[in-house]
Amino acid sequence: MQVISSKDNENIKHIKKLKDKKERDKACEYIIEGIKLLEEAIKEKADIKQIVICDDCEKNDNIPKDLMYEIAKYDCIYVTKNLFKTISEVKTPQGVLAVIKKNSKNTEISYNEDIIVALDDVQDPGNLGTILRTVDSLGLTQILVSSKTADAYNPKVIRSTMGAIFRVKIIECEDLEKTLKEVRKNKFKIVVSSLQAKTSIYDINYNKKVIVIGNEANGVEERIQNLADEKIKIPMLGKTESLNASVATGIILYEYVRQKLK
């Protein structure tokens, strides 16, 4: 078994390039790291192009034996501990990462679900990852994101999704307003969150709705607000006027769950 130690190795140089969004877009690939995410990728039959294993971590049995058995079915390379640190994005690496092909074959919007979540320029990677995880927890299989929303394949987003990235289809919209108009033609109503709204999130029916979540600082932009069929807000009893984007999304979406269960 050959163990790579040179930073000039072509595989290593390619992985380093994938840290940049432009390179991820160009190659249609992204990186996942850690035991949990790799297990999820294998379970969900993600298109795994290559797996990189830290030779030292493998020798110390840091990676479970059953996972090593699955890993052996893929194209694998082994690298030294020092070299692995140069390609890792975390402070305490678990010794395994993988290059995944983006699932870009199916970008069509499905209209078979009760609600569709759309993000209007959500900037924080942690918020985006948490929202994807929340969407997945509802059993939804897609999300619309505007062109200025954080990159869904950013390593921090990937970690925050806890595997949801493999189950939720990311539909990137060059013009979100135009996309929402198309969605409306399919008998969906557009709902935006707004601090100025008079209607509570508890006062609407969550059936065939597009829930638009806005930018952390500025909310939903005006042209999208003008498109809305309904505007809603989360009622609050304290002095805080607004909530973190991912927290607000969770509260709104779980009102849908409450209505669904009821």
Along the chain (262 residues), what's the average pLDDT of each consecutive run of 10 residues?
86 95 95 96 96 80 86 93 92 93 82 96 95 96 96 94 95 95 96 89 96 91 94 90 88 95 86
Domain shared by 138 and 253, yes or no: yes
Domain shared by 185 and 246, yes or no: yes
Given this model, what pLDDT does residue 62 score?
77
Domain shared by 196 and 239, yes or no: yes
Burial (CB count <10 Å: 0-12, 13-18, 19+), residue 251 = middle
Structure tokens at 26: 């160009």
CATH code of the domain covering residue 246 = 3.40.1280.10
Domain's final residue, options 66, 101, 136: 101
Given this model, what pLDDT does residue 105 score?
63
Given this model, what pLDDT does residue 58 score?
58
Structure tokens at 258: 């409450």
Domain shared by 192 and 123, yes or no: yes
Domain shared by 34 and 92, yes or no: yes
Given this model, what pLDDT does residue 1 score?
63
Cβ atoms of 201 and 233 within 8 Å: the answer is yes
Domain's final residue, options 44, 67, 101: 101
Domain's final residue, options 56, 71, 101: 101
Q: Which domain holds residue 47?
A: 3-101
Domain count, the chain: 2
Domain shared by 241 and 127, yes or no: yes
Beta strands (DSSP E) in the chain are: 3-4, 29-33, 48-54, 76-79, 96-101, 115-119, 142-146, 169-173, 189-193, 199-200, 209-213, 230-233
Please list the residues that pair with 32 across neighbouring strands: 98
